[in-house]
Amino acid sequence: MGRNLSLLLKRELLNLDKDPDSKNSSMKGIKSYIKNLDSSAIPFFLSQISNTKQTESTPTEYTISLYEVLARVHGPKIIPQIDNIMSSIIKTLKCCPPSFSLHQACSKVVPTIATHAVDPATPDHNKRKIIHSLCKPLSDSLLSNQDSLSSGAALCLKALVDSDNWRFASSQTVNEVCQRVVGALEKCLTTNAHMGLVMSLAERDGLIVEAYARLLVRSGVKIVNVAGLEGNSHKRLMAIQMISFLMKSLDYKCLMSELGFIIEEMKKCDGDDDQTTYVKGAAFEAIQTANRILSEKGSKFEKLTSAGQRGLTASPESQTMSYMLDSPYGISGLSQEVDFDGSGTPSPLRSWSFINLEHIKIFTTPRKLMKCLQDSNQSQKVKSRSSQSFMSPLLSKFDLKCDLSDSFGLDEERFYDASEHMCQEADRETKLTRWFSVMRIVCGLVVLFGITVCFLLVGDKSEEYNVVPT
């Protein structure tokens, strides 16, 4: 029976290479075969599809579309075969020349599997694994030098990000995709599909993309200039639209330091007579967006940076530092630094790429300040409740001053003078507290002594009036 089914499947696959009527008839027969397929026979079906693609001249988009039918019919039963399906898709994109119909077929398979393989009763950690198994081989292919593979993978990932079940993707998975697509943009391996993927990520995962915002803008401007030299107006238009979308979608603070650069570069496009009307229009829109952000948010951003810098120079690094302090993540929420590996791309789950440590001075705490801090801590153990309430504002200001100096590198001499002055105030308050304590003890002893003397005197007088009868 299995042999007969194999022969039937092969015959139907061969008919896909014939006239349109034969193709439609064969597709109906194969879909019927898939619907009646037992779950245990799915691996056999996939092997037949793979072997047919390697030996026959069957159009690959038709065979790839069979994976979509398989996912719709069998749903979660295909989970064990996801790796095989994705391997087949990557192999097809790598071996076949660029084809719009092939890319469209692949981009339909991936979100279909994400939709139908995930059951509502599936635990969340299994949902994350399914999304990661779909995403990993595609994100690894974004940096490929083969245009068909790189652009096809970007198109499939964009379709996956736009799907509803992308919400189950872990932060690590999103970071991996951002890392690869940033690397592709920096190496100018970018296609329109890559820039479309960036915009989808910015829309769905803006908080994570914000860590890569400056790199994306810089790479986008580079693509605009390179595409201009190549005479590729469509690619230039897509890059300008990506930059505009990032300005509109992301938090303004992560791009505030780049707005002047964007305006300058977009003016070049707007004033270039060799460019088409729609490129000039997109550049003009980007300039308007940047100017609007500067006019509406510029003053607020300056107040935030002036409050956060406390002695730092107004460099792009310090502005980004202020953004990190004020971002929804915060410094503690973004766990690591942005580093760069050998393909020149930032590694995942890292967020400090914009801070140049060479421009930040970090001083150790002065020795006298440490001694003052120790004395203040000891004094807290012996003082009364009233003295605690009196001293707490001073100590809190003292601690804040220490933290700001060590974190942001204030001028050491000014900080030392201020801290020594505060130490003197702390010592003076400690001495006053001790003096009050001694005085209370002395007053208490005096009062106790006076009461005792009075009691004795009253006792002697009472004895004089007691007359003994004779």
The answer to whether 360 and 312 have CB atoms below 8 angstroms apart is yes
Q: What sections of 141-191 are H helices per DSSP?
A: 147-162, 171-186
Q: Is 340 helix (H, G, I), strand (E, B) or coil?
A: strand
Does any domain span residue 65?
yes
Is 356 in the same domain as 379? no
Does any domain span residue 147?
no
Q: How many other β-carbons are positioned within 10 Å of the β-carbon of residue 55? A: 9
Does any domain span residue 161?
no
Q: How many other β-carbons are positioned within 10 Å of the β-carbon of residue 400? A: 10
Is 177 in the same domain as 325? yes
Is 22 in the same domain as 118? yes
pLDDT band at 223 (very low <50, low <70, confident <90, very high): very high
pLDDT band at 410 (very low <50, low <70, confident <90, very high): very low
Is 210 in the same domain as 315? yes
Give backbone dihedrals phi and psi of 345, rounded to 5 degrees, phi first. Answer: -120, 150
CA pair distance 79, 82, nearest whole angstrom:
5
Cβ density class 436-449: b for 16+ within 10 Å, e for less: eeeeeeeeeeeeee
Is 256 in the same domain as 316? yes
Per residue, what are the HEC states of 44-75? Answer: HHHHHHHHHHHHCCCCHHHHHHHHHHHHHHHH
Instruction: Give the domain range for residue 456.
Output: 368-464
Is 266 in the same domain as 350? yes
Most confident residue range from 313-322, 328-337, 446-455 = 446-455
Is 386 in the same domain as 356? no
Share of the chain above pLDDT 70, in %: 65
The answer to whether 246 and 255 have CB atoms below 8 angstroms apart is yes
Amino acid of residue 332: S
CA pair distance 426, 420, nearest whole angstrom:
10
The residues pairing with 346 across neighbouring beta strands, listed in sequence order, are 340
Q: Residue range 306-320: average pLDDT? A: 49
Rg (CA), the chain: 36
Is 236 in the same domain as 98? no
Q: What is the DSSP string of 223-283?
A: HHHHHHHHT-HHHHHHHHHHHHHHHHHS-GGGTGGGHHHHHHHHHHHHT-TTS-HHHHHHH
Q: Residue range 421-444: average pLDDT? A: 72
Q: Residue range 129-152: average pLDDT? A: 93
pLDDT for position 97: 80
pLDDT band at 222 (very low <50, low <70, confident <90, very high): very high
CA pair distance 288, 299, nearest whole angstrom:
18
Q: Is 410 helix (H, G, I), strand (E, B) or coil?
A: coil
The last residue of a domain, from among 360, 387, 406 = 360
Q: 86 or 44, which is more confident? A: 86
Does any domain span residue 151?
no
The last residue of a domain, from among 140, 161, 179 = 140
Is 345 in the same domain as 387? no
- Which is nearest to 394 in space by CA: 435, 441, 432? 432
The answer to whether 158 and 197 have CB atoms below 8 angstroms apart is yes
pLDDT for position 203: 95
Q: 42 or 19, which is more confident? A: 42
Q: How many domains does the chain have?
A: 3
Amino acid of residue 265: E
- Please give the structure tokens belonging to residue 13: 């696959």
Does any domain span residue 21?
yes
Is 74 in the same domain as 91? yes
CA pair distance 160, 152, nearest whole angstrom:
12
Q: Is 336 helix (H, G, I), strand (E, B) or coil?
A: strand
Does any domain span residue 155?
no
pLDDT band at 137 (very low <50, low <70, confident <90, very high): very high
The last residue of a domain, from among 360, 386, 418 = 360
CA pair distance 321, 310, nearest whole angstrom:
12
Q: What is the DSSP string of 344-408?
A: S-BPTTB--TT--GGG----PPPHHHHHHHHHHHHHHHHS-HHHHHHHHHHHHHHHHHHHHHHHH
pLDDT for position 393: 43
CA pair distance 121, 248, nearest whole angstrom:
37
Digit-coded pLDDT (tens) for 70-102? 999 999 999 999 999 999 999 999 988 878 889
Is 119 in the same domain as 174? no
Q: What is the pTM of this model?
A: 0.64
Residue pointed to by tokens 């393909």: 343
423: part of which helix (H) or strand (E)? helix 412-464
Is 249 in the same domain as 340? yes
* Residue 467 clears pLDDT 60, i.e. is over it: no
Does any domain span residue 162?
no
Q: Which of 148-162, 305-319, 380-394, 448-462 has the lowest mean pLDDT?
A: 380-394
The answer to whether 223 and 185 have CB atoms below 8 angstroms apart is yes
Does any domain span residue 158?
no
* Residue 383 clears pLDDT 50, i.e. is over it: no
pLDDT for position 195: 95
Digit-coded pLDDT (tens) for 326-357? 444 333 333 333 433 337 444 443 333 344 44
pLDDT for position 364: 43
Q: Residue range 128-139: average pLDDT? A: 96
- Which is nearest to 218 in space by CA: 275, 259, 249? 259
CA pair distance 194, 69, nearest whole angstrom:
27
Q: 468 or 37, which is more confident? A: 37
Q: 426 or 405, which is more confident? A: 426
Digit-coded pLDDT (tens) for 237-278? 999 999 999 999 999 889 999 999 999 999 988 766 666 888
